[in-house]
Structure 1
Amino acid sequence: MHKSLVIAGIILVVASKVLILKSLFDQGAYERCIENNAAALCAQAPFPFFIYGWIITAAGAAVLIYGLRYVPLKDLR
């Protein structure tokens, strides 16, 4: 059970980092779109996804720490 928590925590942290990087890459395109006065055509602002990414990172880290805390390292192999 706890081995699956460790794996789930790692997956959550990696997925959240992908979400954060995507929001950082999309920020420039979003700002250029707003500057061209085409706000109605612009996608959703990437900043909320940046915040969601950090929340998911914290949740993944908590799951990972909980899983590691109650599992001997020899059982993870």
Structure 2
Amino acid sequence: MSAFVIGHLRSIDFGSDIVEFPDRRHALQWYRSDAYQRIVGLRTENSDSTVLIVDEVAHPHRATEVITRAS
């Protein structure tokens, strides 16, 4: 899977590992949790990864429609 980060104008290739949460608050609670913070070094020291937290996206999402409305 590939995504395009418009803010940085660079392509990012994503693997198949996607973790879904009900909302941003739950995602941040997980990321900041003591349990995850105890093991986050295993991920950051042993892998090349990118973590993104994306607010709710309607399905099916069509990025071109968002860009058209913004212009």
Tell whether the structures are fold-level matches, with TM greater than 0.5: no
- Give 1 or 2: higher strand fraction: 2
- Output the TM-score relative to the length of structure 2: 0.28
Higher relative contact order, structure no. (Cα contacts within 8 Å, ≥ 6 residues apart): 1
Structure of larger gyration radius: 1
TM-score (norm 1): 0.26
